[in-house]
Amino acid sequence: MDETYIKVKGKWTYLYRAADKFGKTLDFMFSERPDGARAIASNGVPEKVVIDKSGNNLLELKWANILLKMSRSNSQIKILQVNT
């Protein structure tokens, strides 16, 4: 998942983009506030997410796992960090 901050129609907005392992965009979401947990869950719960070592999305993924646990879901997102 990519997160960036862009200007849309004169207003700054967060853009979240889900991509497959080949870089093809699977889904995207705009948000007025940083909300990676909602972006992750908006298209169903993924089995695993691969992120870079910068850790920008790590907190959001951990928060999504906490929300899943609180909802008594049997799903948890496997988080893989890779060097880039």
Residues 39-80 have pLDDT tens digits of 666 666 777 877 877 766 788 788 888 888 888 878 888 888
Number of domains, the chain: 1
Per-residue pLDDT at 38 exceeds 80: no
- What pLDDT was estimated at residue 64? 83
Residue-averaged pLDDT of the chain? 80
Q: Where are the alpha helices (DSSP H) in 10-57?
A: 36-41
- What pLDDT was estimated at residue 10? 92
* Residue range of the domain that includes 17: 2-82
Per-residue pLDDT at 84 exceeds 70: no
How far apart CA 81 and CA 53 sit, in angstroms, is: 6
Per-residue pLDDT at 20 exceeds 80: no
